[in-house]
Amino acid sequence: MRKRVTGAFRGIAAALPVALFAALAGTALHRQAVLLAGVELYWGPVAALLLLAALELLLAGSYRSLIPTAVAGVACYVLVGVLAAAGPGKQLILADVPGNLWVYGIAGVTLVMLMVGRVFARRR
């Protein structure tokens, strides 16, 4: 019993810095775009969400539990919400297409990774 509790605390302790990294790196990435034939294509939100998905899947596989994946997703969402709720002129995430994809995509990616993570959490 003690081993499972210790493992859960280790997973949560690992999930918090992962969430901080994903929130900061994803916020830096989410505005990246390429101009193709006069049309601006935002590739940043996709890259940011793929980074988050990879980190959450790594947590699920490393700790053989879904708790770190859920904690990382919730903490990342909260941190991004704090960055998006700053005062006028201080916001890092605007309420436009790439900003909304990044903010609301976190919840979707976390739910998908919780379902996919079940497979990786049970293996070994």
Question: What confidence category does residue 84 fall into, taking pLDDT thresholds of 50, 70 and 90?
Answer: confident
| Token pair in block for residue 41 | 């294509």
Confidence of residue 2 (pLDDT cuts 50, 70, 90): low
Nearest to 124 by CA among 73, 60, 68, 70: 60
The C-alpha atoms of residue 35 and residue 81 are separated, in whole angstroms, by 28
Beta strands in 13-104 (DSSP E): 33-36, 39-42
Query: How confident is the model over 25-81, as pLDDT tens digits?
Result: 999 998 898 999 989 899 999 999 999 999 999 998 888 888 999 999 999 999 998
* pLDDT for 98: 87
User: End-to-end alpha-carbon separation of the chain, Å?
Assistant: 20
pLDDT at 63: 85
7: pLDDT strictly greater than 80: no
